[in-house]
Amino acid sequence: MALLFLDRPFALVVAYGAFGAFFMPFLALTLLRLLNSSRTPAEWRNGPLSNALLALAAALFVFLCLHELWDLVAGSGG
């Protein structure tokens, strides 16, 4: 919110996109790990289809994160 009060809304949008790009792969990989651990009761664990779809989502989010970082570093902005 400090960027908004410093009259820099564009920087706020860029920061939001960058943090979102880091958060989604973290969330997908954390769910994949937690929902397959031995500490989770067997009836609550992921099945093969759920694991495959969550792994696909994690791979997509990692790709998008790297793409977002590349755009920020290269300065293309779009």
The reported pLDDT for the residue numbered 53 is 92
pLDDT, tens digit (0-9, with 9 covering 90-100), for 11-33? 777 777 777 777 888 888 899 99
The reported pLDDT for the residue numbered 18 is 73
pTM: 0.64
The reported pLDDT for the residue numbered 73 is 80
Say yes or no to pLDDT of 76 above 60. Answer: no
**Which tokens sit at 5?**
């009060």
What are the distances in angstroms from CA 34 to CA 31, 38, 41, 60, 63?
5, 9, 11, 19, 22
Say yes or no to pLDDT of 48 above 70. Answer: yes
